[in-house]
C-alpha cells in the first residue's frame, strides 16, 4: 500500500470539495447496497453514497494523479460519502488494476469515529500483521498490488461525514 500526502494541489482539493458540496442537493447519488458485490457488504449495516466526479474535474484529477498511478486503459473517479455505520468488508479489488482513496475531509478525524482504512501488510505476509490509517486531509492511499483491505464502520455523531474520491484503474 502506498500512502501519498498532499496528493492534490490546494486549488484542486478545494474544487473537489466545492463540487461535492453542490452535489449534496442534487439527485445524482447511488447507494452501495444497490450495486456493490454482496461479499464486500458482509456485516455492514450502513450505506455509502456514490456519484461520479464531473468531466471537468475528472480531467484535472487525471492530470495531477498521472505520475502517481499505474498505467491503465480506463480511469474512474467517484465521490463517496460514507454515512454512519457504512464500511466495507475485507476484499482485494480483484476486478481492477488498482484502487485508490483520496481523503477530502478538512477536519482532523477522530480515532473514535471509525472509518479506519486497514490493510494486510504484504511486506511481512507470514506475520499476519495489519496496518491502518485514519482519514487525513488530501492523502491518497494507493492499492496497486491487490492487497486485502477494509474500512471499519463509520460512527454516528461525527462532526463531518467521511468524504473520499475513489479512483479505479481498469484494463
pLDDT in tens, 27-75: 999 999 888 888 888 887 889 999 999 999 999 999 999 999 999 999 9
pLDDT of residue 137: 97
Residue given cell 461525514 in the structure block: 161
Report the C-alpha gap between 145 and 8 in whole angstroms. 22
Rg (C-alpha) for the chain, rounded Å, is 15
Give the distance from CA 152 to its chain's centroid: 12
Residue 126: pLDDT band by 50, 70, 90 thresholds?
A: confident
Q: Mean pLDDT, to the nearest integer, of 72-100?
A: 95
Report the C-alpha gap between 98 and 108 in whole angstroms. 27
Grid cell, residue 130, equals: 495489519
pLDDT of residue 49: 95
Q: Are 64 and 12 in contact (CB under 8 A)?
A: yes
pTM: 0.94
> Element (H or E) spanning 11, and its range?
helix 10-23
pLDDT of residue 44: 79
Model pLDDT for residues 139-154, shown as the tens digit of each residue: 999 999 999 999 999 9
* Buried residues in 119-151 as b, exposed as e (16+ CB within 10 A): bbeeeeeeeeeeeebbbeebbbbbbbeebebbb
Torsion of CA 55, 163, 153, 112, to 10 degrees: 170
Amino acid at each position: 500500500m502506498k500512502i501519498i500526502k498532499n496528493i492534490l494541489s490546494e486549488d484542486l482539493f478545494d474544487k473537489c470539495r466545492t463540487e461535492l458540496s453542490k452535489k449534496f442537493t442534487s439527485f445524482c447519488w447511488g447507494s452501495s447496497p444497490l450495486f456493490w458485490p454482496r461479499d464486500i457488504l458482509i456485516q455492514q449495516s450502513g450505506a455509502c453514497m456514490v456519484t461520479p466526479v464531473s468531466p471537468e474535474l475528472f480531467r484535472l484529477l487525471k492530470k495531477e494523479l498521472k505520475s502517481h498511478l499505474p498505467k491503465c486503459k480506463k480511469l474512474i473517479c467517484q465521490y463517496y460519502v460514507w454515512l454512519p455505520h457504512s464500511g466495507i468488508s475485507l476484499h482485494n479489488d480483484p476486478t481492477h488494476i488498482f484502487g485508490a482513496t483520496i481523503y477530502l475531509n478538512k477536519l482532523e478525524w477522530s480515532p473514535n469515529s471509525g472509518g479506519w482504512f486497514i490493510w494486510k501488510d504484504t511486506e511481512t505476509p507470514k506475520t499476519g500483521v495489519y496496518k491502518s490509517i485514519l482519514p487525513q486531509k488530501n492523502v491518497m492511499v494507493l492499492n496497486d498490488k491487490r492487497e486485502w483491505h477494509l474500512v471499519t464502520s463509520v460512527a454516528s455523531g461525527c462532526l463531518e461525514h467521511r468524504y473520499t474520491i475513489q479512483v479505479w484503474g481498469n484494463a
